[in-house]
A and B are shown apart, each in its own frame.
Chain A
Amino acid sequence: GAVVSQHPSRVICKSGTSVKIECRSLDFQATTMFWYRQFPKQSLMLMATSNEGSKATYEQGVEKDKFLINHASLTLSTLTVTSAHPEDSSFYICSARPLTGTGYTFGSGTRLTVV
């Protein structure tokens, strides 16, 4: 079945630094990838939709300059949290939709802790 690999699974960074999270579709091509943020005991909140080769579409209230998304190939999207602050600490999850076929496959998530 479709597999999405997300790295790193956990990262701790200092306040003010930037962190990059990678999302790879391992056995399929994904024209569209999605980035979510999830707080403890809450639902997934869509942050942005990225399409290969074009600019990401951000949801209302999400700072595009803080959460930089790059989708340079059909198998890789990256989320960079710039100038991270403790309030950015959260669980970040990516999802990929295949070029052909239906459905959305999720990565295993990245636990970001900003200290």
Chain B
Amino acid sequence: QQQVKQSPQSLIVQKGGISIINCAYENTAFDYFPWYQQFPGKGPALLIAIRPDVSEKKEGRFTISFNKSAKQFSLHIMDSQPGDSATYFCAASMGSGNTGKLIFGQGTTLQVKP
């Protein structure tokens, strides 16, 4: 029940296309859902995060869509660029991001082809 399942494992997108990564969770006590971007040899960096009281959040080319009833959330990267090539992790925690530990998805390796 603590798991966060992420798909796909890998994704190849053409430059300018839309990259979509999906995550699903079971624990309804989760109330903070961040997405992280990680480049090889670096720590994860926060991209965008959402709480379950909203269905969508947009920051620049990155959008989170949240479906509370389905217990799913997804990351959309619009106008994907080669510089977006990285590994993306979804995560979830309890306590609105103030308490609790982050539970990570399995990760998605994105490759954006020029």
Q: Choose from B102, B105, B107 the contact partner of A95 (Cβ within 8 Å).
A: B102
Chain B residues with a Cβ closer than 8 Å to the other chain, count: 23
Would you give the 0/1 interface string for B35-69, flagging 1 where the beta carbon is closer than 8 Å to chain A? 01000011111100100000000000000000000
CA distance in complex: A1, B42 (Å)? 17
CA distance in complex: A105, B45 (Å)? 7
CA distance in complex: A49, B106 (Å)? 20
- Is the interface on chain A under 10, 10 to 19, 20 to 34, or 35 or more residues? 20 to 34
Q: Which residues of A contact B102 (CB under 8 A)?
A: 34, 46, 95, 104
A-B contact pairs, 6 of them (CB 8 A): A43-B104, A46-B101, A91-B41, A102-B98, A103-B49, A103-B97
Spell out B's residues near A (CB within 8 Å): 32, 34, 36, 41-46, 49, 89, 93, 96-98, 101-107, 109
